[in-house]
Amino acid sequence: MHEMPEPKTGDDALLSLTGVHTHIGEYHILQGVDLQVPRAGLTVLLGRNGAGKSTTLRTIMGLWHASRGTLRFDGEDITASRTPDIARRGIAFVPEDMGVFAGLTVQENLRLAAIGGRFDEARLAWIFGLFPALKRFWLRPGGTLSGGQKQMVAIARAIVEPRKLLLIDEPTKGLAPAIVDNLADAFEALKARGTTILLVEQNFHFVRALGDHVAVMDDGRIVHTGTMAALDADEALQARLLGLHAGAVH
């Protein structure tokens, strides 16, 4: 048995997963996930490759269905809800492959997510402030953009309408430091607006300053939950949970 604290319950959690199991075909991937995502902060989901982080995000979004357990979002049971219903309740998902349509322009990619295909101009101006590159490449096809620019399109598309919760899967993978800094600033701005973020990320340096809460997965279960401040201050805990050696974090 893993030693772990009782999952927190209470009104502060926007999203909670209780005893969630997910099967993909014959594979039993999530094996009893207990996860609380508090409101209006950034929760980082860490863990080695194959631990089940992406499967957890896809299960929240209804792209896989939990075979056991319960998911609650903003006071409602969403365990059996379908993806469009989950999106309407205010959750947006930025998958690892970003899902940017190569043949559509940046404008068209964002318009797909705007209700009725109409942009809120003030919100669009705010998004251009977060990601100035999008304004420059507004009429370019998605397929001609760099990886970092595609990531900006994917995040911008997720926030073109107001959302309560963003699920974002490894956004900094393979990106240049300047783009990673831009993403960090954008996430800070989203937090300041009260958006809750659940971020899967392997880049501990990126998340140590941004994260409020941390959950660590291994073998389809959550094996640690706590504050980022506590994990950041405890090199022995980092080494145990993340395989990071003292002084080697970069």
Ligand X SMILES: Nc1ncnc2c1ncn2[C@@H]1O[C@H](COP(=O)(O)OP(=O)(O)OP(=O)(O)O)[C@@H](O)[C@H]1O
Q: Can you say whether residue 89 is alpha, beta or left, with left for phi > 0 and alpha for psi between -120 and 50 degrees? A: alpha
For the CB of residue 236, give the shortest distance to ligand X in the complex, in Å. 23
Q: Which is nearer to ligand X, 47 or 148 (CB)?
A: 47
Q: Does 52 bind ligand X (CB under 6 A)?
A: yes
For the CB of residue 56, give the shortest distance to ligand X in the complex, in Å. 7
Q: Which is nearer to ligand X, 60 or 160 (CB)?
A: 60
How far CA 245 is from CA of 60, 176, 249, in Å, comes to 32, 24, 7
Among 1, 2, 49, 243, binds ligand X (CB under 6 A): 49
User: Which residues within the stretch 6-35 sit at the binding site for ligand X (CB under 6 A)?
Assistant: 24, 27, 29
User: Which residues within the stretch 104-123 sit at the binding site for ligand X (CB under 6 A)?
Assistant: none
Q: Are 186 and 195 in contact (CB under 8 A)?
A: no
Q: Are 105 and 141 in contact (CB under 8 A)?
A: yes
Token pair, residue 53, equals: 């982080």
Q: Which is nearer to ligand X, 50 or 129 (CB)?
A: 50
For the CB of residue 23, give the shortest distance to ligand X in the complex, in Å. 10
Q: Report the C-alpha gap between 45 and 55 in whole angstroms.
A: 12
Among 42, 43, 47, 168, binds ligand X (CB under 6 A): 47
- Give the total of residues touching ligand X (CB under 6 A): 11
Its sign, for the CA torsion 165, 169, 170, 174, is negative
Token pair, residue 229, equals: 């401040």
- Give me the amino acid identity at 246: A
Q: Does 238 bind ligand X (CB under 6 A)?
A: no
Q: Does 224 bind ligand X (CB under 6 A)?
A: no
Give the interface with ligand X as residue ranges (CB under 6 A): 24, 27, 29, 47, 49-55
